[in-house]
A and B are shown apart, each in its own frame.
Chain A
Amino acid sequence: DAMVIQNPRYQVTQFGKPVTLSCSQTLNHNVMYWYQQKSSQAPKLLFHYYDKDFNNEADTPDNFQSRRPNTSFCFLDIRSPGLGDAAMYLCATSTQGGSTEAFFGQGTRLTVV
């Protein structure tokens, strides 16, 4: 059974139209990550949560926001998607304290038209 679930798998949105991607986990992990991955590139960390503590990467655009209403769910909000935001968005979880692997969802592929 999938432990980190991302919905939807494929999302098409219009230029400038807000979009939300979702991630849920059944692992009860307290750390959740959001990554952006463009073609032939490594996943780029956007932000992560330790429980409710939000940690934004310095180079993450303000256009990207996140919410974590509870341990199981985390959302990525793109306020005004541009063509350059088309990518695969990956969610991952791990336990705090490091030294444990991170589990990934299958990703949401975002297309901006």
Chain B
Amino acid sequence: GESVGLHLPTLSVQEGDNSIINCAYSNSASDYFIWYKQESGKGPQFIIDIRSNMDKRQGQRVTVLLNKTVKHLSLQIAATQPGDSAVYFCAEIPQKLVFGQGTRLTINP
């Protein structure tokens, strides 16, 4: 069956450092991936996406890397800020949107 999982349930970083959040997926047919940010009490918010014909995509302070060989995604957040504290989910949409486990990112001042 399909599953999208994350390696680490929690991540704590110093303000200003870079954050790297990882995600593994099992459906090799997946061709589109999304990273979502979810703050407490709110719905998931789109951060960045990547299609399977790419291995890297950059946004503002965020970069997503895709390694199809090992079925692995990562989200890199540059110069992490207190406002980045949230739970981050990777998700895939081959036919339906399925979420990974999630990683809680905590920023230390």
> Which residues of B, 65-88, contact A by the 8 Å Cβ criterion?
none
Q: Are A101 and B44 in contact (CB under 8 A)?
A: no
Q: Mark B43-67, 1 if CB is under 8 A from A, else 0.
A: 1111001010000000000000000
Chain B residues with Cβ under 8 A from A101's Cβ? Answer: 34, 46, 49
The yes or no answer to B97 lying at the interface (CB within 8 A) is yes
Q: Within the complex, which residue of A33, A40, A90, A99 is in contact with B32, where a contact is CB–CB below 8 Å?
A: A99
Bound-state CA distance A66–B100 (Å) is 24
For B4, give the chain A residue with the smallest CB separation.
Answer: A42
The yes or no answer to B20 lying at the interface (CB within 8 A) is no
8 nearest A-B pairs in the assembled complex, by CB-CB distance: A104-B43, A42-B99, A99-B32, A98-B93, A101-B46, A42-B102, A102-B97, A106-B43
Nearest-neighbour CB distance to chain B for A105, whole angstroms, equals: 5
Q: Are B93 and A41 in contact (CB under 8 A)?
A: no
The yes or no answer to B16 lying at the interface (CB within 8 A) is no
Q: Are B43 and A90 in contact (CB under 8 A)?
A: yes
Chain B residues with Cβ under 8 A from A68's Cβ? Answer: none
The yes or no answer to A43 lying at the interface (CB within 8 A) is yes
